[in-house]
Amino acid sequence: MIAELPPEYQKIRLQASVPTGDGTVHWFVDGRHLAATEAGELTFYTPARGHHTVLCLDDAGQSATAGFVVE
């Protein structure tokens, strides 16, 4: 995180496509539901310092996970 910038200006952009081309994508950060979006639609996460895991899950039960660190 950049100390001189407010957190709302340091959001992480999240976007996912699905094999069928449409449907709902559920976003989870550190096990907590962040948002439900349509496939291809953007959502944003305002990060906190530390280690995090983001997971996206589609209507068919397919998922992807990524880990990241915010310093």
| Fold annotation for 7-70 | Immunoglobulin-like (2.60.40)
- Domain ranges for the chain, please list them: 7-70
- The 10s digit of each residue's pLDDT in 7-41 is 888 999 999 999 888 899 999 999 999 999 999 99
pLDDT at 52: 97
Q: Residue 25 burial (CB < 10 Å; 0-12/13-18/19+)?
A: buried
Torsion angle of alpha carbons 39, 13, 45, 11, nearest 10°?
Answer: -160
Give residue 7's pLDDT.
Answer: 84
- Residue 3: the pLDDT is 86
User: For 31-52, what is the mean pLDDT?
Assistant: 96
Q: Give the residue among 56, 58, 54, 59 at the shortest CA–CA distance from 70.
A: 54
The pTM is what?
Answer: 0.89
